[in-house]
Structure 1
Amino acid sequence: MPTKFRPCIDLHDGQVKQIVGASLSDSAPSTLKTNFVASQPPAYYSHLYRDNNLTGAHVIKLGANNDAAAREALAAWPNGLQVGGGITADNAQEWLDAGAEKVILTSWLFPNAKFDKERLLSLVERVGKGKIVIDVSCKRHGDKWIVAMNKWQTPTDMEVNEESISMLSEYCSEFLVHAADVEGLCQGIDEELVTNLGKWCHIPCTYAGGGKDISDLALAEKLSGGKVDLTYGSALDIFGGSGVKFADAVAWNRSRE
Structure 2
Amino acid sequence: MNEFEVIPAVDMQDGQVVQLVGGERGTETTYGDPVEAATDWVEAGAETLHLVDLDGAFEGERKNADAIDAIVDACEIDLQLGGGIRTAEGARGLLDQGLDRVILGTAAVENPEIVEEISETHPGTVTVSLDAKDGEVVVSGWQEGTGLDPVEAATRYENLGAGAILFTNVDVEGQLDGVRTEPVERLAAAVDIPVIASGGVATIEDILALREAGASAVVVGSALYEGEFTLEDAQQAVEES
Report the aligned-residue RMSD.
2.1
Note if contact 1:59-1:84 (Cα within 8 Å) is conserved in structure 2.
Answer: yes
**Cα displacement (A) at 1:255:** 4.0
Residue 119 to residue 198, structure 1, CA distance change in 2 (3 Å):
closer
Which whole-Å deviations, capped at 9, do the CAs of 1:91-134 have from their partners, x for residues lacking one?
A: 112211332111110111233xxxx3333322323x33311111
Q: 2:153 aligns with which of 161, 164, 172?
A: 164
- What whole-Å deviation, never above 9, does each CA across 1:150-183 have from its counterpart, x for those lacking one? 111111142112x332221131111111111111
Write the mapping of 1:166-181 to structure 2, written as runs, cut at 5 A. 166-170=155-159, 171-181=161-171
What are the superposed Cα offsets for residues 52-89 of structure 1, whole Å, 9 maximum, x if unpaired? 44233210100152111222222212462111111121
Aligned to 2:233: 248
Q: Give TM-score scaled by structure 2 length.
A: 0.86
Residue 128 of structure 1 aligns to which amino acid in structure 2? H
1:48 maps to: 40
Q: For structure 2, which runs of at least 5 residues remain unmatched after alignment?
A: 57-62
CA offset at residue 199 of structure 1?
1.5
Is 2:92–2:122's contact at 8 Å kept on the other side of the alignment? no
Q: How many residue pairs align between the two structures?
A: 232
2:30 alignment counterpart: 37
Aligned to 1:192: 182
Q: Name the SS of the counterpart of 1:244 in structure 2.
A: coil
- Per mean C-alpha deviation after superposition, the further-off stretch among 12-21 and 41-50 is 41-50
For residues 56 and 169 of structure 1, the distance between their equivalents in structure 2, rounded to whole angstroms, comes to 22
| Alpha-carbon distance between aligned partners in 1 of 2:5 and 2:88, rounded to the nearest angstrom | 30
Conserved? CA contact 1:79–1:100, under 8 Å: no
- 2: CA distance between counterparts of 1:109 and 1:176? 12
Map 1:33-182 → 2, pairs under 5 A:
33-34=27-28, 36-39=29-32, 41-64=33-56, 65-78=63-76, 80-87=78-85, 88-111=87-110, 116-125=111-120, 127-140=121-134, 145-161=135-151, 163-170=152-159, 171-182=161-172
The unaligned stretches of length 5 or more in structure 1 are 25-31
Note if contact 1:9-1:42 (Cα within 8 Å) is conserved in structure 2.
yes
